[in-house]
Amino acid sequence: MVTTVMFEILVLYYSRHGATYEMAQLVARGIEEVPNAQARIRTVPPVSTICEATADEIPSEGPPYATHDDLRECVGIALGSPTRFGNMASPLKYFFDSTSDLWLSGALAGKPAAVFTSTSSLHGGQESTLLSMALPLIHHGMLFTGLPYSEIDLMHTKTGGTPYGASHTAGADSKRALSDEEKRLCKALGKRLAGIAVKLSN
């Protein structure tokens, strides 16, 4: 009997109003277009401004919170964050600031990674956010995979979509639907990441 080995790719995101979550689901769909690849979607809790505040270990809705085991066990990572003043959101940064043990052991070194973001405004910092998200991944020794211009949507999009990763312009209330180009680029990002991760793992 031949058993198929499935390779899991972590889709780790934070989202307050849902736009980045929608992107995460599309990235996951792209991942699952690749034979033997499976998406593992995880989020992170908000960071509290009150030292004593605690939250349940399991969120009341949506995907579970990420653990270090998720990072260790998956063969690649797609990281998604809303833009916060041109940078990644604190909850994701906070989570990565807890990963020194993985950095010391080199657990993520050599694994491919990709990033995606959502902003309110078109020139509100998509590229700077995506590059800020690449920094901890590169420190971990991960292989940063952007989007190549062979994805023709990059040339024609009037909203989000960058060579550094997928992006979405969600409007002031973060309610604007993803454009067709943005959707295809999210899926292309997941598919590219998973294709590379599976090849590297075989």
Q: Which residues sit at the interface with ligand FMN, rule CB under 6 A?
A: 15-20, 82-86, 118-121, 124-125, 170, 174
What is the rounded CA–CA span in Å between residue 22 and residue 199?
27
- What's the DSSP call for residue 9? E
In the complex, what is the shortest distance from the CB of residue 167 to ligand FMN, in angstroms, rounded to a whole number? 10
Residue 32 or 127: the one with the smaller Cβ distance to ligand FMN is: 127
Q: Which residue is nearest to ligand FMN (CB)?
A: 124
Give the 3-state secondary structure of residue 84: strand
What is the rounded CA–CA span in Å between residue 194 and residue 162?
19
In the complex, what is the shortest distance from the CB of residue 43 to ligand FMN, in angstroms, rounded to a whole number? 10
In the complex, what is the shortest distance from the CB of residue 128 to ligand FMN, in angstroms, rounded to a whole number? 8
In the complex, what is the shortest distance from the CB of residue 168 to ligand FMN, in angstroms, rounded to a whole number? 7
Long-range contacts at 127-133 (CB < 8 A, ≥ 24 apart): 127/162, 127/164, 128/86, 128/87, 129/81, 129/83, 129/84, 129/86, 129/87, 129/88, 130/162, 130/164, 130/165, 130/167, 131/164, 132/86, 132/87, 132/88, 133/79, 133/81, 133/88, 133/92, 133/165
In the complex, what is the shortest distance from the CB of residue 16 to ligand FMN, in angstroms, rounded to a whole number? 4
Residue 143 or 166: the one with the smaller Cβ distance to ligand FMN is: 166
The secondary structure of 179-190 as a DSSP string is PHHHHHHHHHHH
Tell me the backbone φ, ψ of residue 154, rounded to 5 degrees. -60, -30
Residue 88 or 198: the one with the smaller Cβ distance to ligand FMN is: 88
Residue 123 or 156: the one with the smaller Cβ distance to ligand FMN is: 123
Residue 85 or 100: the one with the smaller Cβ distance to ligand FMN is: 85
In the complex, what is the shortest distance from the CB of residue 165 to ligand FMN, in angstroms, rounded to a whole number? 15
Residue 109 or 122: the one with the smaller Cβ distance to ligand FMN is: 122
